[in-house]
Amino acid sequence: MDLDTLLSFEWGVMAPEFIILGVATLLSIIDLFMKRESSRKPLAWMAGAGVLAALVSIFLQLDHEVTSILYDTYRLDSFSKAFKILLLLGTLLVLVLASNYKKEDLEENRGEFYYLLLAALLGAMMMASSADLITLFVGLELLSLASYIMAGLERKNKRSNESAFKYVVSGGIATAITLFGMSYVFGLTGETNLFKIAENMGEVELLKHGFLLVFAFIITFAGLTFKIAAAPLHMWAPDVYEGAPVPVTAFLSVVSKIAGFVIMLRFIIITFIAAAGIDGDPLLLQVQPYIMALAAATMIIGNVTALRQRNIKRMFAYSSIAQAGYILVPFVSNSSLLFELIWFYLLAYLFMNIGAFTVIQLLTSQERSNDVSVFRGLYRRSPWLAVPMTFFLLSLAGIPVTAGFIGKFGIFMGALGLQPAHYWLAAVMMATTLVSYVYYFNIIAIMFFRDEEEAKVSVPPGMAAVLAFCTASILILGVMPDLALDFFYGNFDVNEFFMRIEDEVHTHTH
């Protein structure tokens, strides 16, 4: 690649990534020159400002047409914009949590946390924009490696160390499986570019190997379930969530999970949409029962096992496994609503889960315990914490007037709407939702139906802002979901997702 080609790319489309990369680099340098004992809070503000700037740059790109640079490895399309907004929004809220995290162990190395977080975010954003197996994988690994370190950031805490170690080992297994599956795809099609893979999928020669393709699909899919914490690669989540610092847990359960869905959608939908499986039948139809089984297993394992948890972080780990199961349901029905259903649910999930983790962080750090009893009598002690928490739980449970209800409602409609309707999957979803009421409502009962004269919980202004923002978003999206849906329809065109840009080098000037 000569300099002319390099300069001919429209680099402006990568503005959000560049901003994050720049801020992360800047932070690491500043951190180096900061005194050991001085507070790292300014770094948090700078990181936050960087994320906000990236968010603004995406909004400025909303009208930008589909563009692809770097030999079609990086794409700016509706899909990447829509999901990057989620990733950035989630990271922004996690940053507030992190800057208010009070633990002596963490104090000395907090600086690292902020730029690791940004590095992880950068990996996730690259995944949203990738159109090539190699860059997808690099993005995935960037996110993973940064996350591994973050999980073990409390160096003197054994649990945190254990958490990081398990995360690395499980992550290694998942990466191996994913790569193994991808190698089949590459071997069969001879391409790494997603669109070229899709093109080659139609070749007659490949029809004979439909069976191998189904194999490749299932192996890759199973490997990718790691990031979203769904079966069969879900078991790391409870241990890692439990040991990691709360802001990291929030990051893993929200931002990292969104990134997991992003790579699933990118890789699976583009490459396999027209692929033929065994006997030449459509592959996506053929693997439906397997995705269905995994979705059902995830919902059942998550919700049922959550019943027995006394540790609040473990309970939320299983809860987040269950939520991943719900979001897998649209993959099965694979309707035209796929993108909007998943996008809306993830948006709602972002608010309700980060909101819940905000309350969890405040309570667990004040009480120095992770037991569910930290919630006892919260309504009497701090009603301004108990009421938002109630809304988050109601939303997670999918009770009307919350965003969670609309999200679940949409998924449910999708599951029953297309022929053939997936009655069993819908029934499993409803039944496990019912089971989830038991543990979500248990927390509500502990908050409201227990009288305990305990100290009030002090809420720093940043945390209060996150709580207010998340609560308001959940309620507004629950009452007026069209605010988000209209934004989605108005700015994003799902067809762009499949739009292949033929030219390898673009010289658009705008």
Partner 1 sequence: MLQISWLIPLFPLLSFILLLIFRKSRSEGTAWIGVLLTGISLVLSVGIWLAVWQGDEIKTEGTWFHIGERAITMGFEVNPLNALMLVIVSLVSFLVHLYSKGYMHGDERFPVFFAYLGLFSFAMLGLVLSPNLLQLYMFWELVGLGSFLLIGFYYYKPEAKKAAKKAFIMTRIGDVGLFIGMVLLFWQVGSFEYDDIFASVQNGEISSGMLTLTALCIFVGAIGKSGQLPLHTWLPDAMEGPTPVSALIHAATMVAAGVYLVAAMYPLFQASETALTVVAVVGGVTAIFAASIGLMQKDIKRVLAYSTVSQLGYMMLALGASGYVAGIFHLTTHAFFKALLFLAAGSVIHAVHTQNIEEMGGLWKKLRLTGLLFLIGALAISGFPLLSGFFSKDEILASTYADGRYGLFWLAVVAAFMTAFYMFRLFFLVFTGKPRGNQSKVHESPSVMTLPMIVLGVLAVVAGYLNTTWFGTFLSDYLAKGPVELPHGDHHGPGWIPIVATAASLLGIGLAYLIYQKETLSRSWLSRMFPGLSHIIYNKWYVDEGYDATFVKGTKGLSKLGVLFDRYVVDGLVASVTAGVQGLAKAGSRLQNGQVQSYGTAAIFGLVILLLIVALTGGYFS
Site for partner 1 in 336-365 (CB under 8 A): 336-337, 340
Q: Does 29 bind partner 1 (CB under 8 A)?
A: no
- Binding partner 1 (rule: CB under 8 A), the pick from 236, 272, 345, 375 is 236
- 509: exposed, middle or buried (Cβ count in 10 Å: 0-12, 13-18, 19+): exposed
> For 137-206, what is the HEC assignment?
HHHHHHHHHHHHHHHCCCCCCHHHHHHHHHHHHHHHHHHHHHHHHHHHHHHHHCCCEHHHHHHHHCCHHH
Of the candidates 270, 127, 128, 283, the residue with the CA atom closest to the CA atom of residue 193: 270
- Binding partner 1 (rule: CB under 8 A), the pick from 427, 452, 460, 468 is 427
Cis peptide before 232, with omega less than 30 degrees from 0? yes
Q: What is the dihedral of CA 406, 407, 411, 417, to 10 degrees?
A: 30
Q: Does 235 bind partner 1 (CB under 8 A)?
A: yes
Least distance to partner 1, CB of residue 233, Å: 5
Interhelix angle 338-367/312-333, rounded to 10 degrees, is 180
Q: Does 215 bind partner 1 (CB under 8 A)?
A: yes
Least distance to partner 1, CB of residue 430, Å: 5
Contact string 289-328 vs partner 1 (x = CB under 8 A): -x--xx-----xx--xx-xx--------------------
- Binding partner 1 (rule: CB under 8 A), the pick from 239, 264, 272, 370 is 239
Q: Which is nearer to partner 1, 18 or 165 (CB)?
A: 165
Q: Does 437 bind partner 1 (CB under 8 A)?
A: yes
Q: Does 148 bind partner 1 (CB under 8 A)?
A: no
Task: Give per-residue burial for 466-505: e unless 16+ CB within 10 Å, then b.
Answer: bbebbbebbbebbeebeebbeebeeebebebbeebbeeee
- Binding partner 1 (rule: CB under 8 A), the pick from 254, 481, 492, 497 is 481
Least distance to partner 1, CB of residue 211, Å: 5
Least distance to partner 1, CB of residue 166, Å: 5
Task: Extract the runs of DSSP E, i.e. beta strands, from 85-156.
Answer: none
Measured CA to CA, the distance from residue 292 to residue 315 in angstroms comes to 24
Q: Does 232 bind partner 1 (CB under 8 A)?
A: yes
> Which residue shows structure tokens 């739980």?
393
Q: Does 472 bind partner 1 (CB under 8 A)?
A: no
Site for partner 1 in 30-89 (CB under 8 A): none
Q: What is the dihedral of CA 425, 426, 427, 429, to 10 degrees?
A: 90
Q: Are 189 and 272 contacting, i.e. CB atoms less than 8 angstroms apart?
A: no
Q: Does 452 bind partner 1 (CB under 8 A)?
A: no
Q: Which residues contribute to the site for partner 1 (CB under 8 A)?
A: 165-166, 169-170, 173-174, 177, 211, 214-215, 218-219, 222, 231-233, 235-236, 238-239, 278-279, 290, 293-294, 300-301, 304-305, 307-308, 336-337, 340, 399-401, 405-406, 409-410, 412-413, 416-417, 421, 426-427, 430-431, 433-435, 437-438, 441-442, 445, 448-451, 480-482, 485-486, 489
